[in-house]
Amino acid sequence: MARTETAQPYLSLDRYRRLMNIPFCLFNGVDGSGEAVSGCDHCWSQWEREMVAQALYDAEETLARHLGFYLGSRFLTDTDRSWTSPMELNWGYIIGGGIEGLTDVSADVSASDFTTDPATITIPQASFSSQDEIYIVETSSGLQVIPNITTVGANYLIEIDQCLLIEWDNLEDQTEATCIEYDALFPAATWIKLADLTIYRRYLDDTDQATITYGPSCNCWIAGSACAGLEYDGCVYVIDEQISKVRVSISTYDEDTGTWTCTYPTLCGCYSGDKVKVNYRAGTTVPGWERAVMSLAHTYMVLEPCGCAMFDLVLKRDRGVPTVLTAERINCPLGQMDGAWWAWQWLQTHAHRRAFML
């Protein structure tokens, strides 16, 4: 995946490139690879990739606020929520309670070859619980590189196209006028090698799910600071995944058994905890989500980043504004451009309808 600093949208830049039919290497700032350009010979600069990434990210955030859930899974935290049982979290389609876990498994790599295109890395499946946990970053910049992954016997074969493996220092300074020339020798000064990457197991760490806070009460004494109150660990039990309806209970995690056990701390018994912080992973995708994100994102792009014919047509379609607008179009919360209107119509079908009795 093309790397960007400004934003990391769930709809990756590489997926966006595929949907827009933009040549792979030219999109990543590399010329001379011999790829078919189909009339699109524009070499993308880093600022163009950054602009697209920011527009996609902003579109995803806007849609999430209207949907009631994120498109694609996210690690989220609800803070300073009143502790009720059960309770509904801010974002729907909960996957489970916990925080982002990252374990460096780079030492588990059994073979690699960075002299061919694509570069290959072999790592045991046993290093991960599933293929989705593979998370690779350029160590120096911390930016993610998204590979192609296949299963070969008891191993995962990770393939990374060389046009994605440009050193960040070179990529950051690259412009259309200084498009990086493809070099089949992949010199170390320009192209990333295995030593420049960190391979993580990225997973839902359920050892840190919730914190329940009991504040001081004038009618009931609790030991501790009069202003800070007391905090207790909690675990999350999911009642309804779609609306993220959960029960948060005071619990203790046992590192030896990897399980949570209900605990009953000595409290005054006069009242319940005042607030709770919940860590969780949530999100999903629904039909048409990529088109909705892209159409809305195109309305956020101030400048046209590429001169490709297909890109121009799609951008013109999404950024057009009818000469005559209905009252609905004028009052569309996402804007008056056609892309915004299409995304709004899509929202009406998929927005979360949160109406239930606790």
Segment 327-338 mean pLDDT: 94
Say which residue the tokens 């400048």 belong to: 303
Q: Which sequence spans correspond to the domains of the chain?
A: 13-67+287-350, 74-98+208-282, 101-204
What confidence tier does 240 reach under pLDDT thresholds 50, 70, 90? very high
Q: List alpha helices for 246-300, DSSP H.
A: 289-300
Q: What pLDDT is recorded for position 36?
A: 78
| Per-residue pLDDT at 92 exceeds 60 | yes
Segment 116-145 mean pLDDT: 94
Most confident of 177-186, 212-221, 238-247, 270-279: 238-247
Q: How many CB atoms lie within 10 A of CB 335?
A: 17
Q: How far is CA 350 from CA 16, 85, 244, 341, 344, in A?
A: 22, 28, 16, 15, 10
| Per-residue pLDDT at 355 exceeds 50 | no
pTM of the model: 0.90
Q: How far is CA 203 from CA 75, 140, 156, 237, 252, in A?
A: 10, 22, 17, 18, 21
Pair of tokens at residue 346: 């899509």
Segment 245-268 mean pLDDT: 85
- Beta strand pairing status for 155-160 and 144-145? unpaired
d(CA 66, CA 334): 10
Bridge partners for 141 per DSSP: none
d(CA 352, CA 354): 6
Residue 252 in contact with residue 43, Cβ under 8 Å? no
pLDDT digits 0-9 by tens, 155-182: 999 999 988 998 888 887 777 677 888 8
| Per-residue pLDDT at 110 exceeds 80 | yes
Element spanning 124, H or E: strand 119-124
| Higher-scoring residue by pLDDT: 173, 83 | 83
| Per-residue pLDDT at 223 exceeds 70 | no
* Average of per-residue pLDDT values in the chain: 88
Residue 187 in contact with residue 193, Cβ under 8 Å? no
d(CA 280, CA 67): 18
Q: What pLDDT is recorded for position 357?
A: 37
Q: What pLDDT is recorded for position 158?
A: 97
Residue 283 in contact with residue 276, Cβ under 8 Å? no
* 3-state DSSP assignment of residue 72: coil
Q: What pLDDT is recorded for position 190?
A: 83
Q: How far apart are the first and last CA of the chain?
A: 43
Of 145-149, 247-251, 261-265, 293-297, give the lowest mean pLDDT range.
Answer: 261-265
